[in-house]
Chain A
Amino acid sequence: MKHVNQQDLRELAKSFSEAKPFKHVEITELFDSQFLQKVTNELDRLNFTYKESDLFKFYQSQSLAEGDLPKAIGELRELLYSKEFVKLMSQITGLELTGKADLHATIYEDTNFLLVHDDKLDSRKIAFLIYLTDMEIDEGGALNLFENSDGKPTEVVREVIPKFNKFAMFEVSNISFHEVSEVIVDKQRIAIGGWYHAK
């Protein structure tokens, strides 16, 4: 993981707290790219399940929060659960977080999507994603953040475009309305993500 100095930390915390339409931040090249490429190369050793409902259509891996994992994916889990990393997340967000996050990999293919929702469930506090592939702005797969009026989503005002080794996170709240736009090309949008919980 790249070193985040105090100046970087202050800027990330400011960016997170002042972000619109709700608290979020994107960090590029947070991880060592060669390490993340090894993680990507191991994805075919995970078990992905096709999931479809009124709300979504995509492929999701087994939970990566427990059990044996391929070497690099296991190392990524250890990193995300480490005191150092959780402290970094807490410093950026100003939130007290537990060390163990929900964790899984997702693959969105042509026509796959996730409609608007807020992610609120139990004690989820921070949603995060580590993108493992690149998408162009006109290819879909973007994390779209919605403005709200009286607690209801109105329009997309921020698009997070997936890029390899981009880390994105947002605060889960009553107004954290977001979607993953439909992938409209023959390409895979792959990410590892999950939720940190409040202490």
Chain B
Amino acid sequence: MLNKSYTEENLSAAKQFLEDNSYVQLQEAFSDESFLQSIRDLDFTENKDIMHHCFMEAEFVVPAELKDMLAKFDVSVTSGKVFKLRWKDYSMISDADSALIGHEVIIDATPLWDENAGGAIVYIDAEGESIPIEATPNSVTIIAAKNMHRFFQYVNHYGDGRDRVFVILR
């Protein structure tokens, strides 16, 4: 499932990068497209609360191989949720949202995306500094969240007819 080019040495360097920065992204993360396709094929249901969010979602069981890989970053995840964003989907930060602390892992299963369509996963801290995670098909991004909030950037009409699909693990 995982791309074999990510050797122990490469992962160790990536771990060091994560320690020095707020996030690290592993591109071409999976050698097997069928894994990403299986994510896209999950049974999604709409979750809509107009003042807060609108998207499709599905449950996700974290594969053991992925857990093992993340352990090399000293990252432990216990739960995962898959999100599918279509044109006009979004999420907003509300006063009731708790700040994120610890690691979040994003598996990007988006098949094809227009870079003008929005749909970035944006992490923002109390000072307004933001980390936008743009659509990068077949990637794994690890974010070290320190008192951050997250929102899904509104998907505009350039995303019409496409699906922005990703898993968020915590």
Give A contacts to B, CB under 8 Å. Answer: 54-55, 57, 111, 113, 115-117, 146, 152-154, 177, 182, 184
Contact = CB atoms under 8 A, between A and B. Distances in A.
9 contacts: A54-B122, A111-B156, A111-B158, A116-B50, A116-B51, A152-B50, A182-B154, A182-B156, A184-B156
Given A57-B154, A115-B154, 14 more contacts: A54-B90, A54-B91, A54-B153, A54-B154, A111-B116, A111-B156, A111-B157, A113-B154, A116-B51, A117-B51, A152-B51, A153-B50, A182-B88, A184-B156
B168 to A, nearest CB: 16
A100 B145 CA distance: 43
B92 interface: yes
Contact of A184 (B90, B154, B157): B157
Interface in B129-160: 151, 153-154, 156-158
Interface in B108-134: 116, 118, 122
A148 to B, nearest CB: 10
Interface residues of B, number: 16
Contacts, number: 37
A177 to B, nearest CB: 8
Given A152-B50, A153-B50, A113 B156 contact: yes
B129 to A, nearest CB: 13
B92 A54 contact: yes
B93 interface: yes
Interface of B: 50-51, 88, 90-93, 116, 118, 122, 151, 153-154, 156-158
A154 B51 CA distance: 10
Contact of B50 (A111, A146, A182, A184): A146
A96 B93 CA distance: 34
Contact of B92 (A115, A152, A154, A177): A115
Nearest to B93: A54
Given A54-B153, A154-B50, A115 B118 contact: no
Contacts of B88: 182
A154 B122 CA distance: 26
A117 B93 CA distance: 12
Contacts of A177: 50-51
Contacts of B50: 116, 146, 152-154, 177
